[in-house]
Amino acid sequence: MDSSQFRDAAHAALEEIIKYYDTVADRPVLPSVAPGYLKPLLPPGPPQTGEQWSQIQSDIDRVIMPGLTHWQSPKFMAFYPCNSSFPAMLGEMYSGAFNAAAFNWICSPAVTELETVVMDWLAKMIGLPECYLSEGEGGGIIQGTASEVIVTAVVAARERIIRRRLKDMPEGEEKLDKAAEMRGKLVALGSEHAHSSTQKAAMIAGTRFRTVPAPPEAGFRVTKEALRKTIEECRAKGLEPYYFTATLGSTATCAVDDLEGVAELAQENPDIWIHVDAAYAGSALVCSEYHHLCTPMQHFDSFNFNLHKWLLVNFDCSAFFIKKRRDLTDTYTLTPSFLRNEYTDKGLVTDYRDWQIPLGRRFRSLKVWFVLRSYGVEGLQKFIRRHITLGEYFHGLLVGRKDLFTVVTGPAFALTTFYINPTRPSAAVSSSPANTPNPAHEAYTNDFTSDAEAQYREEANRITKEVYERVNSTGEFYLTGAVAGGVFVIRVVSATERAEEKWLERLFEVLVEYAGDALKRDVKGGRTVEMVDG
């Protein structure tokens, strides 16, 4: 493909992409294909001679589009969003064109220096304490995902506590043996609702992992008391906690841990690395009304949020901020001869390879730069606040039908979680003669049933899963569920670039219809219930 052919192909691709975005709301959000659908549609091997772009492009519609889940659809309300934008796409295009591995400054000075600049911009924009800026001992680096960030932090935390505890030992085999012994007793901690990446990172680091309780009565968040108790229990067993993931926006319910309480514990336990994972909700910090959440972070070691979730930057782009960059460079700096250069040797530049596990890295800061300049702070704030308002709107719809829905959490950062109310025995049936067989006598609403609460929860879980699976089976909307406090809940978060009130209203209509159908089936199946019209 020469430059002229590339021009024609690129124009054709751009037109197709624009059309896709303009029509994405008209497509079923979920594909209807079965596992293994793709292989029969493709030849058994690559072509012997090159094909024309027009032929390649036509296969996007034929074989790729049928197997796509449309994350950019306003009817995608599952997981958390994975937003994109046209300025970010342009950044990806330029990054692909320059195609620099960029493992150190000399590989492309602009790649390193723009990243330092935009990360400082981001830190100031979201209200992080000054200790996270590059002018001091800290700074920021762009990683692929929050999972990569947490692995990087966990390994650095492991090595930091070993360096501190063994600093007086001379180098040699005895010190290596002692370090290996220590690693077997180290424990990484995370909320029971924290993302699984913390547990996976502990496995990669060769250390143990323990969860910290975050029960419903605490709002599904880790409190200072719960964290202290877990630390003390570990130490009583001869184990050493060395790392904790504090959550700002948990995966299931978007709960925020007791950051102020955790900050107090951090000062009492300086060898425990405190990392704040704000993968989704961290984007809301661009709004001044959330800046108070950043105040305790001056006492923590690191922080991250994913711009590719809620801040219009294409996947992948996770902003990782560190309070003391030496905590990373002391772990990850290795300089073989082929990486030596005068600028690095003189300490004049930043080499981000020393802040991370991989050597090479992409020019991700370009797409961040394009988005920040295209939208501005005010534009990004407007984008986030619109979704917050949509979350409040949907929450209001649910509260208006308390006969059908019980809200568990929300609206929190545009996310609401809820379950379908199970059937209730009617008063008429409950008052039938005692000598007449009546299932209502043993129903979970009977005050004399010892496990009434467990039975109620089981029924709520059953009917909620039934409604949830029916919604997804149609393909019109895509939702995800979660278990919170033993209750299966449906999660709804409408935070895509094209999200609108009308789609939430339509989803609510579908939920009301399907919940009503499920309750009516219970009546036909033998359970007599009180039904509320509507």
* 3-state secondary structure (DSSP) of residue 41: helix
Q: Pick the range with the lowest mean pLDDT from 152-161, 205-214, 406-415, 430-439.
A: 430-439
Residue 450 corresponds to which tokens in the numbers above?
């010892």
Q: What is the mean pLDDT of the chain?
A: 87
Contact 133, 139 (CB under 8 A): yes
Instruction: Compute, in degrees rounded to 10, the torsion defined by CA atoms 492, 497, 502, 503.
Output: -40
Q: What is the mean pLDDT of the segment spanning 183-211?
A: 91
What value does the CA radius of gyration of the chain take, rounded to a whole number of Å? Answer: 27
Give 271's contacts (C-beta < 8 A, 6+ positions apart). 160, 161, 164, 165, 242
Residue 186 has a pLDDT of 95
Higher-pLDDT residue of 451, 150: 150
Amino acid identity, position 301: D
- Of the two residues 509 and 348, the one the predictor is more confident about is 509
Residue 126 identity (one-letter amino acid): I
**Token pair of 494 as six digits:** 């409408």
Q: What is the pLDDT of residue 107?
A: 76
- Number of CB atoms found within 10 A of residue 426's CB: 15
Predicted local confidence at residue 454, as pLDDT: 80
pLDDT at residue 329 above 50?
Answer: yes
**Percentage of the chain surpassing pLDDT 70?**
89
- Residue 162 corresponds to which tokens in the numbers above? 């070993």
> Helix axis angle, 109-125 relative to 365-399, nearest 10°?
30
- Rounded-to-integer distance, Cα 251 and Cα 255, Å: 8
Residue type, 380: L
The pLDDT value recorded for residue 451 is 67
User: What is the predicted pLDDT for the residue at 111?
Assistant: 86
pTM score, two decimals? 0.87
Q: Distance (Å, rounded) from C-alpha 437 to C-alpha 433?
A: 9
What is the DSSP-derived secondary structure letter of residue 29? S
Q: For residue 435, what pLDDT is reported? A: 47
Confidence of residue 445 (pLDDT cuts 50, 70, 90): very low
- Rounded to an integer, the average pLDDT of 62-84 is 94
**Helix H or strand E encompassing 407:** strand 405-412
Mean pLDDT of 199-207: 92
Percent of the chain clearing pLDDT 90 (strictly above): 69
Domains parsed from the chain with CATH numbers: 3-68 (1.20.1340.10), 99-362 (3.40.640.10), 379-520 (3.90.1150.170)
φ/ψ (deg, to 5) at 97: -70, -45
Name the percent of the chain in helix, strand, coil, to the closest 5.
50, 15, 35
